[in-house]
Amino acid sequence: MNHTAGEVTMSEAKHEFDEALISGYVDGELTQRDDQRVRLHLEDCVQCRNIAGEMRKLKEATMTSDFQVPEDTQWDEKPRGSVSGFLSNFGWMIAIAWVVAIIGFVIWQVATDAENLLEAVLVFGLWLGFGLVFLSVLIDRLKTYRTDPYRRVEK
- What are 91-128's pLDDT values in tens digits? 888 888 888 888 788 777 767 766 666 676 677 778 77
CA-to-CA dists, residue 113 to 73, 102, 107, 108, 120, angstroms: 55, 16, 10, 8, 8
Overall pTM > 0.85: no
Separation CA 25–CA 14 (nearest Å): 22
